[in-house]
Amino acid sequence: MSTNRRRFLESAAANVAALAVMPAAAYAAMPHDIAMFGQTSSDEWDLGWADRVKKAKHRAVFDCTDPESGYGVWRASAWTRQNIDVLNAASADVIPVIVLRHNAIILAMQQSFWDKYGVGAAKKVMHPMTQEPTTKNPVLLDEKDGLAAPFNTAALHKQLARGAIALACNMALQDCIDTIAQQDKVSVDEARKRAIAYLVPGVVLQPSGVFAATTAQEAGAVYVKAS
């Protein structure tokens, strides 16, 4: 065995040993998509959305990692409108893929989740128009909340109704699961069921946000770091 290869194997073994004795606090400090490496559930994932992306003429994936007042989701709506207005594209030919991962997972949750678990205050979310603290999920705001056109059309549920694709990170969802388990005092399995039920209707859960973003790109979508 060569000296370089022996050193590599010794280094790899040392790294594995270090992980084995890593304190629980170290795991807690990691993002869930790293700490849960190798722990993806065996659920059957819905990947049918990728076929829709492949058939579209104009396709882009908007990677949202932070709430940022919901602007990442709004950017997807603006891009769609610009393709239709500037390029005279048919709406059916324009497919935005919105990936909600990392800290932006809270944007994938219904307002009832925000209300029950105090998400707005806990995550220090700001209103997209006033930049004041808000208890509302900013991507669900529309004319009922006083938003004028065209901002009222950028709401996630309205984009979904127009054919947009929204994908949520299963790894990041663990944050929501932990919140439910702790506050409702239920098992992790029960908390997971409740968290999935809280997803905005039409949002599709994926193994991870990174998986969703790369799969969209493999289907031909241009990558946009949206938030």
Q: pLDDT tens for residues 115-164?
A: 999 999 999 999 999 999 999 999 999 999 999 999 999 999 999 999 99
Q: Are 141 and 155 in contact (CB under 8 A)?
A: yes
* CATH code, 80: 3.40.1260.10
Domain range for 26: 3-30
Kindly state whether residue 172 falls inside one of the protein's structural domains: yes
Q: Is the pLDDT of residue 37 over 50?
A: yes
Whether residues 134 and 102 share a domain: the answer is yes
Predicted pLDDT of residue 41 = 55
Q: Is the pLDDT of residue 12 over 50?
A: no
Confidence grade of residue 44 (pLDDT, cut at 50, 70, 90): confident
Kindly state whether residue 162 falls inside one of the protein's structural domains: yes
Whether residues 116 and 200 share a domain: the answer is yes
Number of structural domains, the chain? 2
Q: Is the pLDDT of residue 215 over 80?
A: yes
Whether residues 25 and 131 share a domain: the answer is no
Catalogue the long-range contacts made by 209-212 (C-beta closer than 8 Å, 24 or more residues apart).
Answer: 209/33, 209/63, 209/65, 209/99, 209/100, 209/101, 209/102, 209/167, 209/168, 209/169, 209/171, 209/172, 210/33, 210/101, 210/169, 212/61, 212/97, 212/99, 212/101, 212/167, 212/169
Whether residues 170 and 211 share a domain: the answer is yes
Kindly state whether residue 145 falls inside one of the protein's structural domains: yes
Kindly state whether residue 191 falls inside one of the protein's structural domains: yes
Q: Is the pLDDT of residue 8 over 50?
A: no
Whether residues 126 and 68 share a domain: the answer is yes
Strand partners, 94: 58
Whether residues 16 and 111 share a domain: the answer is no
Whether residues 58 and 26 share a domain: the answer is no
Kindly state whether residue 41 falls inside one of the protein's structural domains: no
Whether residues 12 and 120 share a domain: the answer is no
Q: Are 194 and 126 in contact (CB under 8 A)?
A: no
* Percentage above 90 pLDDT, the chain: 81
Kindly state whether residue 12 falls inside one of the protein's structural domains: yes
- The chain-wide mean pLDDT, for the chain, equals 88
Confidence grade of residue 194 (pLDDT, cut at 50, 70, 90): very high
d(CA 141, CA 111): 10
Whether residues 26 and 60 share a domain: the answer is no
Kindly state whether residue 64 falls inside one of the protein's structural domains: yes
Kindly state whether residue 76 falls inside one of the protein's structural domains: yes
Q: Is the pLDDT of residue 82 over 70?
A: yes
Confidence grade of residue 4 (pLDDT, cut at 50, 70, 90): very low
d(CA 210, CA 69): 21
Whether residues 24 and 125 share a domain: the answer is no
